[in-house]
Structure 1
Amino acid sequence: MELFYFLVFGGLSAVVAALELSKSSKDRINTPSAFNAFKNNYLLVYSLMMAGDWLQGPYVYYLYSQYGFGKGDIGHLFIAGFGSSMLFGTIVGSLADKQGRKRASITYCITYILSCITKHSPQYKVLMVGRILGGIATSLLFSAFESWLVAEHNKRGFEQQWLSITFSKAIFLGNGLVAIVSGLFGNLLVDTLGLGPVSPFDAAACFLAIGMAIIMSSWSENYGDPSENKDLLTQFKGAAVAIASDEKIALLGAIQSLFEGSMYTFVFLWTPALSPNGEDIPHGFIFATFMLSSMLGSSIASRLMAQSSPKVESYMQIVFVISSASLLLPIITSFLIAPSKVKGGSISFSGCILVVGFCAFEACVGIFWPSIMKMRSQYIPEEARSTIMNFFRIPLNIFVCIVLYNVDGFPMTIMFGMCSIFLFVAAILQRRLMTIVESQKSKPQDWTALERSAEEESLNV
């Protein structure tokens, strides 16, 4: 079965290479040098930020276990991270809109570097502080950088369509190539060089520091709402009014929460799904294969978004249906293929089927990220972009905390079935979003009126 892994990885590599090399002029958008320089600067920073994140991921659980903590204690540490992102995410998002997205991006770097430093301590309280800092940093990573990019892109007068180029390239590099290289580099530090499980966190801090230096030297500041008389509560109410008054924004938030909630649940479930009897599977190589699948998805997305048809609202319905079907495979194989009772050994036949299905899901993830970024750039008002984006993450973090707390309480097939249902619901909501967009022609919201309404409500209170 060892040949199986290389066949899947090699096949995906060939497809990705063929897609990238076969792009014609129809699949590419000619852009001026000024935009290319702007895009490349952002891609460099984003790749460094993602390297700092990806280097840590594979070794967090392992490091905690090396410090002698059990599954329950480690679970509480993970819950602290997601809970921190939920509690503080909206606040830091609002501060990013008000105080500046460049400052927020620098804050991300500092916060995550401090989180990395705490990994040197075996004390549980120090590690808990590190998880809280990591949760705050995650909120900034998934809001401040995108908000800065969209605002700066528009401020410089670049074509709206060119945003899709930056989005797709960012996912191709940051969530694909950088993830693969980070995994291999982390493996080199820990296993080959024997520097210990804390070494990837030190390397991550170095990459974050380099990225912060580039941000400080080359980025200009931009804001959502720079008004001095707007406190955080008014900003929250204004963002809530925007979500409640525009069904497109509400649908987008629900779609994002459903998909990302399923995605993060999948992160916890794929390892036991592929090795239910303790099979010996190459976790790092499979992870790299999944990231290669994500690269394939982002390459497909770049082609789709370069065309005038189909619209992103249209093809994302198909993506959600495919992702829903792929996470049904563990349930289907459990009924159709008799489970093996042999402990250990190589991956089973049903496990091979699941690897292929999970690769299809990761390809959908690769399509999802640049596509949802493009829709957010179209429908979320600039004045409170970071605030609203972090509002979207509240139900996601609640869901993931619940899953982590009850991960041993439900059979794995139930968890996969729940995720599949969520993704199918996302497809239905995406259909509704497309219908609204076609009927309303994406009429812009009067943000000034929404802000005035929030202020009047605050005064009445």
Structure 2
Amino acid sequence: MELFYYMVFGGLAAVVAIVELSKSNKDRTNTSSAFESFKNNYLLVYSLMMAGDWLQGPYVYYLYSTYGYGKGEIGQLFIAGFGSSMLFGTIVGSLADKQGRKRACVTYCITYILSCFTKHSPQYKVLMVGRILGGIATSLLFSAFESWLVAEHFKRGFDQQWLSLTFSKAVFLGNGLIAILSGLFGNMLVDTLSLGPVSPFDAAAVILAIGMAIILSSWTENYGDPSDNKDLLMQFKGAAIAIASDEKIALLGAIQSLFEGSMYTFVFLWTPALSPNDEEIPHGFIFATFMLASMLGSSIASRLLARNSPTVESYMQIVFAISSASLLLPLLTNFLVSPSKVKGDGLSFSGCLQLLGFCVFEACVGIFWPSIMKMRSQYIPEEARSTIMNFFRIPLNIFVCIVLYNVNAFPITVMFGMCSIFLFVASILQSRLLAIADKPKTEDWTMLKEKNLEHEPLNAP
């Protein structure tokens, strides 16, 4: 059975190499040296930020278990992280638009470093504080950096098409290569060097500090809507009005929540799906295989985004449909393949089929990230980008908290079936977005802001 793992990994590696090496002039975009310097600086910082995140991921649950906490207590810690992201995400997003995106990126580094330090304490309350800090940091990671990039890209006068190059390469590196290297580095720290389960968190803190130093020394500040001194409540209202008044923004938010909610559910469920009878499976190697599949997806996305046809709105409805079918495999194999009741020492035939389907899903994830970034850059108003992006994460975090709370209440096949339905709905919503993609906005941000102010009381501050 080990041969199967190597065949899947080797096959994916070969396909990624072929896709990358076979790019023609149609798949490449001529840019300027100034843009290349700007892009490489951002990619360096983004890779360091993602390395700080990926180093921690595989060892959070394991660390909590070594401190003697059970599944229920660990589940509460995870819920605290997602709940923190939901409660504080919109606030920190608005502060990023108002106080500056560079400051928000630095705040991400400081917050996550403090979260890493809390891992040294076995005290439950301290670990809970660490999860809350981690939730705040996650909100900043998935909003402030992209907001800074988009604003800075246009401020420097670069071509809009070049933005896709940065998005696709960031996903290829940050969600692919860096994830694999981080997993191997963490494994070396914990297993090879026997430095303990806290060592990856210490390494993450050092890497985040290096990234913060680069941000402070080489990035300039940019803001959302600096035209007036609106308070946070006004900023929330303006972002909510923008979402409610523009169907494209609302559709984009719903699509993002449906896909990312399914993706995070998959993260929790793939291990028990592949080893229902406690089969011995190489978790680290399978994780690396998934990341390689994600790299393949980002390579495909870079080709698609470099061309004018098909449009991102067009091909993403196909990607969502394929991802929906891939997460149906656990449900289908449960009916078509007789499940084994005997504890095995390797991946079953059903597990092999599911592993292939999961790799397809991860490839879809690799296509999703740069593509959703591209659509967000087109449809979300620059003045409230971070605020609106974190609004999108509210339903996502509610969904993940509900799943975590009820993870033992439903069979795994039902959970995967639910995710498949969500992804199919995302495909339908994407087709609607495609239909109205060229429809002009009824009102721009300035008009919405003026409308908002007109409805404010005269004695409002």
If the length of structure 2 is used for normalisation, what is the TM-score?
A: 0.99
Q: Which amino acid aligns with 2:381?
A: P
Is the CA contact (8 Å cut-off) linking 2:246 and 2:441 kept in structure 1?
no
- 1:310-349 equivalent positions in 2, closer than 5 A: 310-349=310-349
Per the alignment, residue 308 of structure 1 pairs with 308
Per the alignment, residue 288 of structure 2 pairs with 288
Report Cα offsets for 1:133-171 as digits up to 9, x if no partner: 000000000000000000000000000000000000000
Paired residue secondary structure (1:459)? coil
Report Cα offsets for 1:254-290 as digits up to 9, x if no partner: 0000000000000000000000000000000000000
Q: Which amino acid aligns with 1:327?
A: L
Partners in 2 of 1:356 and 1:344 — Cα distance? 19
Partners in 1 of 2:383 and 2:84 — Cα distance? 24
Q: Which amino acid aligns with 2:454?
A: E
Per the alignment, residue 457 of structure 1 pairs with 455
Partners in 2 of 1:291 and 1:186 — Cα distance? 15
Partners in 2 of 1:21 and 1:105 — Cα distance? 34
Partners in 1 of 2:86 and 2:227 — Cα distance? 26
1:453: Cα distance to partner?
1.9
Per the alignment, residue 193 of structure 1 pairs with 193
Is the CA contact (8 Å cut-off) linking 1:327 and 1:361 kept in structure 2?
yes
Q: Which amino acid aligns with 1:447?
A: W
Q: Which moved more, 1:450-459 or 1:407-416?
A: 450-459
1:308: Cα distance to partner?
0.9
Hey, which bits of structure 1, 4+ residues long, moved more than 3 A?
442-445
Q: Which amino acid aligns with 2:336?
A: L
Report Cα offsets for 1:161-203 as digits up to 9, x if no partner: 0000000000000000000000000000000000000000000
Q: Which amino acid aligns with 1:50?
A: M
Per the alignment, residue 37 of structure 2 pairs with 37
Paired residue secondary structure (1:407)? coil
Per the alignment, residue 448 of structure 1 pairs with 446
1:342: Cα distance to partner?
1.2
Paired residue secondary structure (2:225)? coil
Report Cα offsets for 1:274-310 as digits up to 9, x if no partner: 0000000000000000000000000000000001100
Per the alignment, residue 415 of structure 2 pairs with 415
Per the alignment, residue 105 of structure 2 pairs with 105
**Structure 1 residues 152 and 67 mapped into 2: Cα distance closer, same or farther (>3 Å)?**
same
**Structure 1 residues 333 and 108 mapped into 2: Cα distance closer, same or farther (>3 Å)?**
same
1:231: Cα distance to partner?
0.3
Q: Which amino acid aligns with 1:446?
A: D
> Is 1:61 aligned to residue 61 of structure 2?
yes
Per the alignment, residue 436 of structure 1 pairs with 436
1:228: Cα distance to partner?
4.4
> Is 1:367 aligned to residue 370 of structure 2?
no
Per the alignment, residue 176 of structure 2 pairs with 176
Q: Which amino acid aligns with 1:362?
A: E
Paired residue secondary structure (2:346)? coil
Structure 1 residue ranges without an equivalent (≥5): none
Is the CA contact (8 Å cut-off) linking 1:109 and 1:212 kept in structure 2?
yes
Partners in 1 of 2:344 and 2:399 — Cα distance? 32
1:229: Cα distance to partner?
2.3
Paired residue secondary structure (2:161)? helix
1:445: Cα distance to partner?
3.9
Partners in 1 of 2:118 and 2:380 — Cα distance? 36
Report Cα offsets for 1:46-86 as digits up to 9, x if no partner: 00000000000000000000000000000000000000000
Paired residue secondary structure (2:456)? helix
What is the RMSD of the two structures over their aligned residues, measured on CA atoms?
0.9
Partners in 2 of 1:184 and 1:384 — Cα distance? 38
Q: Which amino acid aligns with 2:274?
A: L
> Is 1:96 aligned to residue 96 of structure 2?
yes
**Structure 1 residues 426 and 293 mapped into 2: Cα distance closer, same or farther (>3 Å)?**
same
Q: Which amino acid aligns with 1:298?
A: S
Partners in 1 of 2:82 and 2:344 — Cα distance? 33
Per the alignment, residue 383 of structure 1 pairs with 383
Partners in 2 of 1:204 and 1:354 — Cα distance? 32
1:232: Cα distance to partner?
0.3
Q: Give the total of aligned pairs.
A: 459
Per the alignment, residue 398 of structure 2 pairs with 398
Partners in 1 of 2:91 and 2:448 — Cα distance? 20
Per the alignment, residue 6 of structure 2 pairs with 6
Partners in 2 of 1:294 and 1:89 — Cα distance? 26
Is the CA contact (8 Å cut-off) linking 1:98 and 1:227 kept in structure 2?
no
If the length of structure 1 is used for normalisation, what is the TM-score?
A: 0.99
Per the alignment, residue 75 of structure 1 pairs with 75
Q: Which amino acid aligns with 1:191?
A: D
Partners in 1 of 2:241 and 2:341 — Cα distance? 55
1:456: Cα distance to partner?
2.8
Partners in 2 of 1:446 and 1:65 — Cα distance? 51
> Is 1:146 aligned to residue 146 of structure 2?
yes
